[in-house]
Amino acid sequence: MNTEREKVKRQFRHRARLAPTPAQVLLFDEQAHAARTVWNCLHAWWTMLPKDKRTLAAADAAIRQARKDVDFLAVLPAQAAQAVLKIYFRAWRNCWEGRAGAPRYKARSRTRMSVDIPQGDGLRVRRVHRRWGVVSVPKVGKVRFHWTKDLPVGSGADGASRITGARLVKDALGWHISFRVQTHVPAPAPHEGPEVGIDAGINIPLALADGNHQHHGRPPRLPDGTADRDKWLNPEEKAKLLRLEREAAHRRSFREPGRAASRRLRRTYEQIASLRAKAKRRATDWQHKTTTHLARAYSTIVVEDLDIPRMTKSARGTVDLPGKNVAQKRGLNRSIAQEAWGRTITMLTYKTAWCGGALRKVPAPYTSQRCSVCGCLTEGSRESQTVFACKNPGCAWVGNADHNAARNVLHLYRAGHALTPAAGRAVVRRS
């Protein structure tokens, strides 16, 4: 009897931190600036030409001629220039279909430096040490990177795993490379684990209906009751961040209006951005580990269908009708943004599919006001952010408010109120 499961094609990204030499850093910067310039030239060409001459072939010919005439653009590999063209046309297609706004000019000060490598055949990834690997970047050469995940090194022509492309990205911590990996793995067997409802909150990041709440050990608020915007930093890093912010404010007070920031001020901004990036990386790492654990432990994960942009809308109001408790609402919005609920749901969507499970969504209204024991919706039962006390005389159940909401989420799913399956990334496809 053949028990081998059917193979499925899985695509994912793996981001690794590069360790380039100073000369290689300059080459990366030149390529990134050239890619941004190609985008801006292409945008100007598109907006000035008549509609009947805006074709992909004409844009491709214009880019080829520009790379021949301008030496600065020649440092960008031809494949990377073609990738800029494809991304630009995809941006317009997303605009026409209502998924995004119209493409615009990329200013140097507000644009992330990046270079796309659309084909992975020339990367030639090789592991040289337990912690280090080497990748061949076009027009740069061999660059070391931190080896934190096993990557395919073959061509993948026989159905094996392969690297289909990569993208070079620069952030506050330096240059990184994001590999696009395609693998063929056995189709996941149906998950036989239990069902669970999850409520995303502030005091408890992820409250589970069975009581196995997921904490990250970072208090959401300071002793004075204000939101802790730097909870992912340790006390020494918080003190350093406070000192840098004060230095930036002091140096900014001496800058004349309309003049560029000094080198010292820019250096201070870079140090602040580095600490912020480190905090974001720690938060993302916790999310990945937690969602992987949940996807492996439960067959069906039920969450609320939250409208996060509406939840984080400002309460400032207008001049005629000013809002109330604006400062408190601002702190709540900041806490919600720090927890990144949308990113957590996205991770759970594709990880449950990888493990043979499923993610389901239920309507969000009244899940935190309804008692999970008697089902009554009584005014005043939600006494605070942490305590739920049912006002029904026949029940009088008291418990954690987030735990109560998680149980209600699971009850809604079992009662048949699940919405259309969550639309996540197409990460598992039949080969």
Rg value, the chain, Cα: 26
Q: How confident is the model at residue 154 (pLDDT cuts 50, 70, 90)?
A: low
Q: Report the alpha-carbon distance of residue 45 to residue 43 in Å, rounded.
A: 5
Bridge pairing between strands 114-117 and 162-171:
antiparallel
- What span, in angstroms and rounded, lies between the C-alpha atoms of 268 and 249? 10
Residue type, 69: D
In percent, how much of the chain has pLDDT > 90? 36
Q: What are phi and psi of 234, to 5 degrees?
A: -80, 170
The answer to whether the beta carbons of residues 429 and 6 sit under 8 Å apart is: no
Per-residue pLDDT reduced to its tens digit, 274-299: 999 999 999 999 999 999 999 999 99
Amino acid 418: pLDDT: 79
pLDDT number for residue 225? 62
pTM over 0.85: no
Q: What is the mean pLDDT of residues 204-230?
A: 80
Q: For the residues 256-265, what does the mean pLDDT come to?
A: 86
Query: Average pLDDT in the 212-230 region?
Result: 76
Q: If phi over 0 gives left and psi between -120 and 50 gives alpha, with beta otherwise, what is residue 139?
A: left
Is the pLDDT score of 367 beyond 60? yes
pLDDT the model gives residue 372: 82
Burial of 298 (0-12, 13-18, 19+ CB in 10 A): buried
Checking if the pLDDT of 421 tops 70, the result is: no
Q: Where are the domains of the chain?
A: 7-186, 195-219+283-424
3-state secondary structure the chain: CCCCCCEEEEEEEEEEEEECCHHHHHHHHHHHHHHHHHHHHHHHHHHHCCHHHCCHHHHHHHHHHHHHHCHHHHCCCHHHHHHHHHHHHHHHHHHHCCCCCCCCCCCCCCCCCEEEECCCCCCCCEECCCCEEEEEECCCEEEEEECCCCCCCCCCCCCCCEEEEEEEEEECCEEEEEEEEEEEEECCCCCCCCEEEEEECCCCCEEECCCCCECCCCCCECCCCCECCCCCCCHHHHHHHHHHHHHHHHHHCCCCCCCCCCHHHHHHHHHHHHHHHHHHHHHHHHHHHHHHHHHHHCCEEEEECCCHHHHCCCCCECCCCECCCHHHHHHHHHHHHHHCHHHHHHHHHHHHHHCCCEEEEECCCCCCCECCCCCCECCCCECCCCEEECCCCCCCCEEEHHHHHHHHHHHHHHCCCCCCCCCCCCCEEEC
pLDDT score of 319: 62
- Give the pLDDT mean for 34-52: 89
Indicate the range of 101-105, 124-128, 214-218, 383-387 predicted with least confidence.
383-387
Quick one: pLDDT band at residue 217, thresholds 50, 70, 90? Answer: confident
Under the banding of pLDDT at 50, 70 and 90, the label for residue 63 is confident
Question: pLDDT tens for residues 195-212?
Answer: 899 988 888 889 898 888
336 or 227, higher pLDDT: 336
Residue 162 has pLDDT above 50, yes or no: yes
Q: Is the pLDDT of residue 1 over 60?
A: no
What's the confidence (pLDDT) of residue 400? Answer: 84
Check residue 370 and give its pLDDT. Answer: 84
- pLDDT above 70 covers a percentage of the chain that reads 91
Can you tell me the mean pLDDT for 322-345? 80
Least confident range from 109-113, 166-170, 172-176, 311-315: namely 311-315
Q: 358 pLDDT exceeds 80? A: yes
State the CATH class of domain 195-219+283-424.
alpha beta
Residue 95 pLDDT > 80: yes
Give residue 157's pLDDT band: very low, low, confident or very high (50, 70, 90). Answer: very low
Report the distance separating Cα 117 and Cα 133, nearest Å. 18
Mean pLDDT computed over 105-122 = 89
Token look-up 């001459």 returns 53
